[in-house]
């Protein structure tokens, strides 16, 4: 999978840009605040319909305009696909091969991307919310079923939390309706948790090999999915569903007192264990970086395994954060395998001998040359 061409209209500081990319490594070079990350962000938004650094569409639209558009030609094994995303204050409109998509869930997955930025260290040592977001973004690209279940889960969770607050404030009394919401929520939650466990098992397999190589066979990386359910209750979707449903029934008074849903995938976490210890708490910064790098690189192979195509890799000023050894592993792993976009202010400190025939783009004030 690769991006052949990208067109931007009024996106961030790009009024009108049309650029063709190499199928290998594309280096986006320029000083800070010139538009390097904006270009990377445009590819990310084209893939996922949302930004990794903005929550409002307005932030993505050039200051004096009311809407922005991103168009891309995507090369798949089976042929070319035209993607178009229009952003405005009224929302988003997505088209695949000029056909408008009624739901964004049918659009996502046409272009798969993996973003690696310095803040991705937060995957290891950040809040549980960061890790849940990481799982949902990556697994949602690999599986339309996962994407659908998370969307429905959030919808029912919102309804259930509103009703729990109404029960708490004595504005509602019907516990049967709470049971209905609990049943619906448990069904979607069971699907999400089961898929997370399965995909994390595969991701661990790929990441262990990479991590072992980077650490020179001195360390073993494992993932620990942290949930309110016991490990023996995670064997099947039906088993998870029944266990969660029982938990909701046994704890509905507690949830009413608190006015919120206290069990489910929205409360779960992922821990990175190195040689049996939680690397976020007991690991050095170097071990945390290695765990994060191993996980991000493993995503490439997992996505290939799940979708039969390699994703596009976006590296936002990340090489300057890695020492020579980790740079070597990263650049060796992606060479001649995935289309890569790399932003940097300078090639100094980057192992350029490991980058074969990069296509160089200079970016200054939203102009690409």
Q: pLDDT, tens digit, for every residue of 270-298?
A: 999 999 999 999 988 888 888 988 898 89
Contact in structure between 341 and 312 (CB atoms under 8 Å):
yes
Q: Report d(CA 203, CA 276) in Å as an integer.
A: 18
Query: Has 54 been labeled as part of a binding site?
Result: no
Confirm if 45 and 68 have CB atoms less than 8 A apart. no
Residues 299 and 315 reside in one and the same domain: no
Do residue 259 and residue 336 come from a single domain? Answer: no
Residues 235 and 88 in one domain: no
Summarised one tens digit per residue, pLDDT across range 41-74 is 999 999 999 888 887 878 888 878 889 999 999 9
Is the predicted pLDDT of residue 351 greater than 70, yes or no?
no
d(CA 204, CA 289): 16
Q: Do both 361 and 285 map to the same domain?
A: no
User: Does 227 carry a binding-site annotation?
Assistant: no
Residue whose C-alpha is closest to residue 42's, from 76, 92, 94, 7: 7
**CATH code for position 301:** 1.20.1050.90
Same domain, 220 and 136: yes
**Does 35 show up as a binding residue in the annotation?**
yes
Q: Which residues contact 73 (CB under 8 A, 6 or more apart)?
A: 3, 4, 5, 80, 81, 82, 83
Same domain, 191 and 292: yes
pLDDT above 80 for 223 = yes
Confidence of residue 349 (pLDDT cuts 50, 70, 90): low
User: Do residues 49 and 179 both lie within one domain?
Assistant: no
> In which domain, by residue range, is 298 found?
120-308
Q: Is 30 annotated as a binding residue?
A: yes
Tell me the CATH number at 53.
Answer: 3.40.50.300
Q: Return the residue matching tokens 């993607």.
A: 83
Q: Is 37 annotated as a binding residue?
A: yes
Indicate whether 16 and 76 sit together in one domain: yes
- The Cα–Cα gap between 266 and 86 comes to 30
Given 308, 326, 346, the domain boundary residue is: 308
239 marked as part of a ligand binding site: no
Which of 256, 288, 308 represents a domain boundary (last residue)?
308
36 is known to lie in a ligand binding site? yes
231 vs 279: CA distance, rounded Å: 21
Helix, strand, coil share (%) of the chain residues, nearest 5: 50, 25, 30
pTM of the model: 0.88
The number of domains in the chain is 2
In this structure, the answer to whether residues 97 and 195 fall within a common structural domain is: no
> To which residue do tokens 């466990």 refer?
197
Q: How far is Cα 87 from Cα 66, in angstroms, rounded to an integer? A: 9
Q: Both 51 and 100 in a single domain?
A: yes
CA-wise closest residue to 25 among 268, 299, 319, 336 = 336
Clarify whether residues 79 and 155 are in a common domain.
Answer: no
Specify the pairing of strand 113-116 against strand 221-226. Answer: unpaired
- Which one of 264, 285, 308 terminates a domain? 308
Q: Over 80: is that where the pLDDT of 5 sits?
A: yes
Q: Tell me how many degrees the CA angle 227-115-133 measures, rounded to the nearest 5.
A: 25
Query: Are both 174 and 232 inside the same structural domain?
Result: yes
Q: Give the whole-number percent of the chain exceeding pLDDT 90.
A: 63
């Amino acid at each position: 999978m690769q991006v052949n061409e990208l067109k931007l209209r009024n996106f961030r500081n790009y009024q009108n840009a049309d650029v063709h990319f190499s199928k290998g490594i594309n280096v986006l070079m320029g000083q800070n605040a010139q538009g390097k990350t904006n270009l990377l962000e445009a590819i990310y938004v084209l893939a996922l319909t949302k930004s990794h650094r903005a929550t409002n569409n307005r932030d993505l639209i050039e200051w004096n305009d009311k809407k922005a558009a991103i168009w891309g030609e995507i090369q798949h094994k089976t042929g070319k696909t035209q993607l178009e995303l229009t952003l405005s204050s009224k929302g988003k409109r997505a088209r695949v091969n000029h056909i408008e998509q009624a739901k964004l869930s049918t659009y996502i997955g046409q272009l798969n991307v993996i973003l690696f930025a310095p803040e991705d260290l937060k995957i290891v040592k950040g809040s549980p919310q960061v890790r849940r977001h990481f799982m949902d973004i990556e697994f949602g690209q690999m599986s339309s079923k996962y994407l659908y279940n998370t969307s429905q889960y959030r919808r029912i969770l919102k309804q259930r939390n509103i009703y729990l607050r109404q029960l708490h404030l004595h504005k509602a009394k019907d516990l049967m309706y709470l049971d209905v919401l609990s049943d619906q929520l448990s069904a979607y939650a069971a699907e999400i948790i089961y898929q997370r466990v399965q995909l994390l098992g595969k991701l661990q397999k790929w990441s262990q090999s990479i991590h072992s190589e980077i650490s020179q066979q001195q360390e073993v990386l494992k993932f620990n999915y942290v949930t309110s359910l016991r490990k023996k209750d995670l064997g099947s979707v039906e088993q998870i569903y029944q266990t969660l449903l029982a938990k909701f029934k046994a704890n509905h008074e507690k949830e009413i007192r608190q006015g919120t849903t206290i069990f489910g995938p929205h409360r779960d976490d992922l821990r990175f264990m190195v040689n049996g210890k939680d690397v976020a708490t007991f690991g050095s910064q170097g071990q945390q970086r290695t765990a994060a790098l191993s996980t991000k690189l493993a995503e490439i192979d997992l996505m290939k395994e799940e979708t039969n195509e390699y994703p596009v890799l976006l590296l936002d000023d990340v090489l300057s954060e890695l020492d020579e050894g980790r740079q070597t592993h990263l650049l060796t792993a992606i060479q001649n395998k995935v289309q890569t976009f790399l932003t940097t202010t300078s090639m100094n400190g980057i192992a350029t001998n490991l980058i074969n025939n990069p296509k160089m783009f200079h970016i200054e004030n939203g102009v690409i040359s």
